[in-house]
Structure 1
Amino acid sequence: MSAVEAIVGTLGSCMGCMIVVENIAKKEPSSMNLMTFATFFFIASQGLIFTSRFFTQPNKIPLRGYRAVIFWFFIVNVINNQALNYHVPVPLHIIFRSGSLLASLVLTKLLQGKNYSYRKYVSVIAITLGIVICTLATSHQGDSEMSYEEASKHFYEWCIGISMLTFALLASAYMAICQERMYAQYGKHPTEAMFVTHFAALPFFALMGSDILRSAERFSQSPHELFGISVPIPNMWLNLLANCVLQYYCIKFVYQLTSEVESLTVTLVVTLRKFLSLIVSIWWFQNPFTFQHWVGATLVFAGTLAFADIWDGLWKRLSGQKTIKETKKTK
């Protein structure tokens, strides 16, 4: 697979996945556990057949090496998806998750004692301000159409959703540290890791089995119609299947991208994907997005690119200068 195919695949599948997720969240906001379980089950099943070959292929990384990653991977995915059930609009969800660099910097500084340049601290401050601005701009959206009691309940639940996203942001950063330690000790085996982290987390979903079953019943009662065309399967199940397939390819293409291009390009593509997903969410689903939101989003995405030294990298490319990595290749 070429780098161009990996980039196009990443943008297409990940953006498509976000559209389907938002569609499910709007129609059945309480079905996030079912959606998360279905995604885990689909990716685990695919890995069981093609990666593990029904456990006939020995693991390159022992299961004990995966323990922390599996636990935090499950927690992060469940909480991130469940936050959509607490009146957190998808655009804010995208912006909030784009602040992962903030959490990573804080935790690596505290837990690993890493030092960063002044520019990176400024970038993180910009990201933080952007998230705060977007969060405040979203906090009272729609309150004018509600009674005082409804608005209070809505705001309380929204605060829970924001708290969940904040925790998931920190947990995701810690998971990345655990993953980094695991790869440092055992080597990088992303395909195996993709299978193991999804498969081993499946038993945890038993804790939310009743909720998953209730959501499944509601999905089965959805109309047998998709885009005005009669279909033999309830449309919510088709949405769920589309989400699973797109999520799988999104993860697969991102893994492929990391092996085809340098980290600078990966960061640029992932940031572009989030920005385009934000635009599509605003346009396709008519999500309210004020001037404050645009200011906040600009700070978040610009800060992300600055943190990854994208601007310097692009300037060097445009001016014909070779990056360090390219210089080494020519020697």
Structure 2
Amino acid sequence: MASAVAPIFGVLGSCMGCMVFVENIAKQEPSAMNLMTFSTFLFISTVGLVSTSKFFTVKNQIPLKGYFKTVTMFFIVNVVNNQALNFHVPVPLHIIFRSGSLLATLILSVVMVGKSYSARKYISVFAITIGIVICTLATSTQGDSGLSMEEASKHYKEWTIGIIMLTFALLASAVLAIYQQQMYEKYGKHPDEAMFITHLISLPFFLIMGSDIVSAATKLSASAPHSVFPWLPSLWVDLIASCLLQYGCIKYVYQLNSRVDSLTVTLVVTLRKFLSLIVSIVYFKNPFTPQHWLGAILVFAGTLAFADIWGSQTANKQDEKKKQ
């Protein structure tokens, strides 16, 4: 477990730090989400080209055809999740929604793979679903009193589109998890290679949004000078920081996955999401009502119950008694 300490703190620190910069960009220039996604993919691909592929001199353990379904779904999930922020979806709700991935995973695992689950897991998923619904309704009723009727109607329509996008991304992320599991079962686990290839092959897809990326880059260049690096626009500094931290977040998750069991990974990722939620509320002063807190508690408690931390701890104690 000692070897997992660094990855655990790496996941918590880098992922939470990344969300701060992502939310700052989303608040000041929401149209930059495609640019942010592209920049992250480009950075991870460049690092992987040097450190993992060594400029394509290292032979792939998984053939390129094995990545096709995974890469396609991976790209869609990342782009749709980030684009949802462009439709007035608050970051706290965005975090809570993405924490409900267990719901989509359970449903699609039953439908696509034919798995069966205990009653406790279905109850956990029900709690997660109710939590997301409560948070969504609480956000929809907040409104902006300073908007005209026409502006408020447009705002609500865009927000609804954002919620639909998050729902789609939630289901797509579950399909992605199934595709990744099937790929690893067939070819073996090669996380560094998979991390590099999935980001590299996704880069050509960004050509379809090239004009949007260029337009966003122009807007970021017009932002105010950074207080620490006055020769650089502030939003470009935020973008660079988000790329570095996002790389660290993904890298540490892969490392953690290779050193501890999936239960521990689930708990760390859940804790990271909860802490990111707290940071978003406190640092950016996002509105968070008692209804939001109730929904958030249901989502995170349901996630932990799904992972069965209490049952696993009891089982471990029983095992220790048997050994004695």
Tell me the amino acid that sits aligned with residue 58 of structure 1.
Answer: K
Q: How does 1:106-255 map to 2 (within 5 A)?
A: 106-226=107-227, 229-255=228-254
Deviation at 1:310, TM superposition (A): 1.3
Alpha-carbon separation, structure 2, partners of 1:263 and 1:74? 24
* TM-score of the superposed pair, with normalisation by structure 2: 0.96
Name stretches of at least 5 consecutive residues in structure 1 with no aligned partner. none
Tell me the amino acid that sits aligned with residue 180 of structure 2.
Answer: Q
Residue equivalent to 2:6: 5
Residue equivalent to 1:94: 95
Deviation at 1:266, TM superposition (A): 1.0
Tell me the amino acid that sits aligned with residue 153 of structure 1.
Answer: K
**Pair 128,54 (structure 1): closer, same or farther in 2 beyond 3 Å:** same
Residue equivalent to 1:308: 307
Q: How does 1:23-102 map to 2 (within 5 A)?
A: 23-102=24-103
Tell me the amino acid that sits aligned with residue 186 of structure 2.
Answer: Q
Tell me the secondary structure at the aligned position of residue 145 of structure 2: helix
Tell me the secondary structure at the aligned position of residue 61 of structure 1: coil
Alpha-carbon separation, structure 2, partners of 1:121 and 1:304? 11
> Is the contact between residue 102 and residue 128 of structure 1 (CA under 8 Å) also seen in structure 2?
yes
Deviation at 1:236, TM superposition (A): 1.0
> Is the contact between residue 7 and residue 257 of structure 1 (CA under 8 Å) also seen in structure 2?
yes
Tell me the secondary structure at the aligned position of residue 44 of structure 1: helix
Alpha-carbon separation, structure 1, partners of 2:267 and 2:180? 22
**Pair 230,66 (structure 1): closer, same or farther in 2 beyond 3 Å:** closer
Tell me the amino acid that sits aligned with residue 282 of structure 1.
Answer: I
Deviation at 1:263, TM superposition (A): 1.5
Alpha-carbon separation, structure 1, partners of 2:65 and 2:142? 46
Deviation at 1:142, TM superposition (A): 2.8
Alpha-carbon separation, structure 1, partners of 2:200 and 2:318? 45
Alpha-carbon separation, structure 2, partners of 1:281 and 1:51? 34
* TM-score of the superposed pair, with normalisation by structure 1: 0.94
> Is the contact between residue 140 and residue 155 of structure 1 (CA under 8 Å) also seen in structure 2?
no
Deviation at 1:143, TM superposition (A): 3.1
Tell me the amino acid that sits aligned with residue 176 of structure 1.
Answer: A
**Pair 322,15 (structure 1): closer, same or farther in 2 beyond 3 Å:** farther
Name stretches of at least 5 consecutive residues in structure 2 with no aligned partner. none
The RMSD of aligned alpha carbons is: 1.7
Structure 1 residues 85-134: Cα deviation after superposition (integer angstroms, max 9, x where no partner)? 00000000000000000000000101111100000000000000000000
**Pair 38,144 (structure 1): closer, same or farther in 2 beyond 3 Å:** same
**Pair 24,315 (structure 1): closer, same or farther in 2 beyond 3 Å:** farther
Deviation at 1:220, TM superposition (A): 1.0
Structure 1 residues 155-189: Cα deviation after superposition (integer angstroms, max 9, x where no partner)? 00000000000000000100111111111110010
Structure 1 residues 171-218: Cα deviation after superposition (integer angstroms, max 9, x where no partner)? 010011111111111001010000000000000000000000001111
**Pair 45,314 (structure 1): closer, same or farther in 2 beyond 3 Å:** same
Deviation at 1:223, TM superposition (A): 1.4
* 1:268 and 2:271 matched: no
Tell me the secondary structure at the aligned position of residue 127 of structure 1: helix
> Is the contact between residue 226 and residue 237 of structure 2 (CA under 8 Å) also seen in structure 1?
no
Tell me the amino acid that sits aligned with residue 211 of structure 2.
Answer: S
> Is the contact between residue 135 and residue 295 of structure 2 (CA under 8 Å) also seen in structure 1?
yes
Alpha-carbon separation, structure 2, partners of 1:274 and 1:321? 31
Deviation at 1:150, TM superposition (A): 0.8
Deviation at 1:264, TM superposition (A): 1.5
Percent identity over paired residues: 66
